Amino acid sequence: MNSSLPLRHLLLAIAVVAVWGSNFVVIKLALGDLPPLLFAALRFTLAALPAVFFLPRPAVPWRNLAAYGLLIGVGQFGVLYFAMNGHISPGLASLVIQLQVFFTIGLTMYFAGERLQPIQWLALLLASSGIAIIIGHTDGSTTLLGLALTLLAAMSWAGGNLVARQAGRFNLLAYVVWSSLFAVPVLAALSLLTEGWPAISSGLRAADMQTWLAVAWQAWGNTLFGYAAWAWLLSRHPAATITPMALLVPLFGMGSAALWLNEGLPAWKLGAAALVISGLALNLLWPQLRGWIRSRA
């Protein structure tokens, strides 16, 4: 793999994180018509169909596919959509969900019996300070319930990361597509049980072209294009070159929310974002920085 990043590959990586970041605005737009769990069910239906007929099933156990599908489809996105349905603003949701990095580290260390390194404690402290600022400024657009649900979604994402690691090497796009099959029936059943047929029927009738485009963007832009392009980049460059680009996701998320939804960017929100992103960056980039320092010693 090549450690240098050609301009066209850099632009592709930026395009992916731009899609993933601005995706939170798209979610908010679709939630104007669709109940959250119905929206999630539709999103994963389009992610699976018709792609599942063209991509061979990855050589992983069915139980692994099912676990990933439920953790990501129901635990991450189902809960996130519910949180964003009036409980947390899109910009802050795009920031808080990134704490999945620390949940992933915590779960990995718990099962491996390892301990956090001092630098990881510092990174966690920075990110936690940002969350504390958000808690201190909850209002009508962001509530403690919304923050808690988004953290739960981040934890589910972390659980999905661990399940995917246990699967070994596989085609990432095919893995996401096939696992989506397990999310759809559960999301549909939960929607029927908790949101009810009247709300489902009303949402489907109210959905206009913009709403359906938002659903399609979730499935094909965020999922199929995003994962396929990211996997393609990772197959050609070291993870240490590509992965740090994900730090731009909350920047695109907060920026697009401010631009298209007029979500405010007061000093406290920018400060919280700086602390969370600094914690994420420190955790992600410290191994490379430590290697650079040692090489200069």
pLDDT tens, residue by residue, 5-37: 788 999 999 999 999 999 999 999 999 999 999
Question: Encoding tokens for residue 43?
Answer: 């999103």
pLDDT of 45 higher than 90? yes
**What does the alpha-carbon distance between residue 214 and residue 80 come to, in Å, rounded to a whole number?**
16
pLDDT for 13 equals: 92
Band of pLDDT at residue 105, cut at 50, 70 and 90: confident
pLDDT of 98 higher than 70? yes
* Residue 1 belongs to a domain: no
* Residue 21 belongs to a domain: yes
pLDDT of 129 higher than 70? yes
**Helix pair 62-69, 172-190: axis angle to 10 deg:** 60
How many degrees, rounded to 5, is the angle at CA 46 between CA 40 and CA 52?
Answer: 125
* Residue 92 belongs to a domain: yes
pLDDT of 132 higher than 90? yes
* Residue 84 belongs to a domain: yes
**What does the alpha-carbon distance between residue 12 and residue 223 come to, in Å, rounded to a whole number?**
15
* Residue 134 belongs to a domain: yes
First-to-last alpha carbon distance for the chain, in angstroms, is: 27
Q: Which amino acid is at 184?
A: V
pTM, two decimals, is 0.91
pLDDT for 157 equals: 93
Contact 187, 40 (CB under 8 A): yes
Residues 184-196 as b or e (16 or more Cβ within 10 Å = b): bebbbebbeeebe
Of residues 58, 61, 75, 76, the one with CA closest to residue 231: 58
Least confident of 46-60, 97-111, 205-219: 97-111
Structural domain total, the chain = 1
Count Cβ atoms below 10 Å from residue 265 Cβ, excluding itself. Answer: 13
- How large is the average pLDDT for residues 75-91? 96
* Residue 291 belongs to a domain: yes
* Residue 2 belongs to a domain: no
**What does the alpha-carbon distance between residue 278 and residue 30 come to, in Å, rounded to a whole number?**
31
The phi, psi pair for 224, rounded to 5°, reads: -70, -55
Q: What is the DSSP string of 177-212?
A: HHHHHHHHHHHHHHIIIIIHHHHHHHHHHH--HHHH
* Residue 266 belongs to a domain: yes
pLDDT of 1 higher than 60? no
Q: Is 269 exposed, middle or buried (0-12, 13-18, 19+ CB in 10 A)?
A: buried
pLDDT of 273 higher than 50? yes
pLDDT for 283 equals: 84
Helices (H), 217-266: 226-234, 239-242, 249-261
Domain carrying residue 238? 7-296
Positive or negative torsion for Cα 59, 78, 196, 50 = negative
Q: Which amino acid is at 90?
A: P
Question: Encoding tokens for residue 201?
Answer: 């029927």
pLDDT for 120 equals: 83
Of residues 78, 103, 82, 92, the one with CA closest to residue 138: 92
Positive or negative torsion for Cα 286, 287, 293, 297 = positive
Band of pLDDT at residue 244, cut at 50, 70 and 90: confident
